Structure 1
Amino acid sequence: MKLTAALARRMRLLAGEVAKFGAVGAIAFVVDLGGFSLLRYGFDHHGPLEHKPLTARTISVVVATVVAYVGNRHWTWRDRERRALHHEYALFFVLNTAALVLNLAILAFVNYTLDLHDPVSNVIANLVGIGLGTLIRFWSYRRFVFRTPVAVREADGSDPRVSSAA
């Protein structure tokens, strides 16, 4: 019975985190993809970085990363232990950089190997990169950046960050 209650509590916690992470991610997604599209295509199909997809992508991801950090730190995982802001954000940024490298590799493949430069191909490449990056980010934020409160670990004698649900 105690195991069932602990598992149910963990699943509720995880479901809440996934929902909040998804909402923050949706906002960051709009900032990211919208920023990329404006930089690359502008309002008249000639943006300031029309011929520089990787630069446009990098700028849009950096801005979206700031939005995501603020949302996740102050809403999704607001009850988690805090580190010094510079340390926490540096770790957050490094993990986002790993996701960005994956996204850039997919975008570079589409633009330079497949020679597809149209908006639809770029949006699809970005969606694939963002989808894979989202899985990496949720796991790594939860595991490394926004640590589980000590009280939770001590209450049930375990660490939910390393559970099979993490």
Structure 2
Amino acid sequence: MATMDGGSKRSRWQLLVHEMAKFGVVGGFCYFVDVLISNLGHGLFGMGWLSAKTVSTIVAATCAYIGNRHWSFTHRARTGLRREYTLFVILNGIGLGIALGCLGIARYVLGLDSVLAFNLAGNVVGTGLGTIFRFWAYKRWVFLHPDDPKAALYAAADAQRSQSLPEPVGRL
């Protein structure tokens, strides 16, 4: 029995490492997109710190949703695009709030005004803290484990909803 427990713990640990690695690859690409767009917005287009970070986060989060849904967490239960994407947007809004909070403190509380401060506060500290939150939240609420009882419930509701849609009517 101890062997089975050890094997089960090992496989859960391996799954966690596997998910973290894929999440990291997707996150690395999206981090590059985020930093590039935020710096272009702030440096080239003269956007304020918070505006540049908001635009860059929206673009990067969209890329992240696609990568995480179709690669990082592809083995997890599908509980409906509407449900997943709505939660994803809400959780990324919280992640954005974390990054904007870090930027706001650096800019308006500490009075920092350099490109280095912008990047450290928003793109290192803010994005780093937001990433930790998002990994935990995606696994907990967006991309459910197939054994989670809520996964079956949401999948059944989504299937029933799609069956109840009216048939498309031909063009007149």
Match of 1:97 among 93, 102, 105: 93
Q: After TM superposition, which residue ranges in structure 1, 4 or more long, deviate above 2 angstroms?
A: none
Quote the RMSD (CA, aligned, Å).
Answer: 1.3
The alpha carbon displacement at 1:48 in A equals 3.8
Secondary structure at the aligned position of 1:17 is classed as: helix
Q: For the residues of structure 1 that align with 2:16 and 2:98, how far apart are their CA atoms?
A: 26
TM-score computed with the length of structure 1 as normaliser:
0.85
Q: For the residues of structure 1 that align with 2:20 and 2:80, how far apart are their CA atoms?
A: 25
For residue 147 of structure 1, what is the aligned residue in structure 2?
144
Secondary structure at the aligned position of 1:88 is classed as: helix
Q: Specify the code of the residue in structure 1 equivalent to 2:94.
A: A
Aligned ranges for residues 31-50 of structure 1 at < 5 Å?
31-42=33-44, 47-49=45-47
| Deviations 1:90-123, CA, capped at 9 Å, x for gaps | 1011011111111101101111122212110111
Q: For the residues of structure 2 that align with 1:125 and 1:59, how far apart are their CA atoms?
A: 16
Secondary structure at the aligned position of 2:111 is classed as: coil
For residue 138 of structure 1, what is the aligned residue in structure 2?
135
Flag structure 2 segments of 5+ consecutive residues without an equivalent: 150-172
For residue 26 of structure 1, what is the aligned residue in structure 2?
28
Match of 1:122 among 118, 125, 137: 118
Segment drifting more, 76-85 vs 60-69:
76-85
| Deviations 1:26-81, CA, capped at 9 Å, x for gaps | 01101111100000002xxxx241xx111111010000000000000000001111
Q: For the residues of structure 2 that align with 1:15 and 1:136, how far apart are their CA atoms?
A: 17
Secondary structure at the aligned position of 2:12 is classed as: helix
Q: Specify the code of the residue in structure 2 equivalent to 1:77.
A: F
TM-score computed with the length of structure 2 as normaliser:
0.82
For residue 157 of structure 1, what is the aligned residue in structure 2?
none
Q: For the residues of structure 1 that align with 2:6 and 2:28, how far apart are their CA atoms?
A: 32
For residue 5 of structure 2, what is the aligned residue in structure 1?
3
Secondary structure at the aligned position of 2:89 is classed as: helix
**Percent sequence identity over matched residues?**
38
Q: For the residues of structure 1 that align with 2:64 and 2:75, how far apart are their CA atoms?
A: 16
Match of 1:72 among 47, 68, 77: 68
Q: For the residues of structure 1 that align with 2:9 and 2:104, how far apart are their CA atoms?
A: 43
Aligned residues: 146
Query: Which of structures 1 and 2 has the bigger CA Rg?
Result: 2
Segment drifting more, 61-70 vs 79-88:
79-88
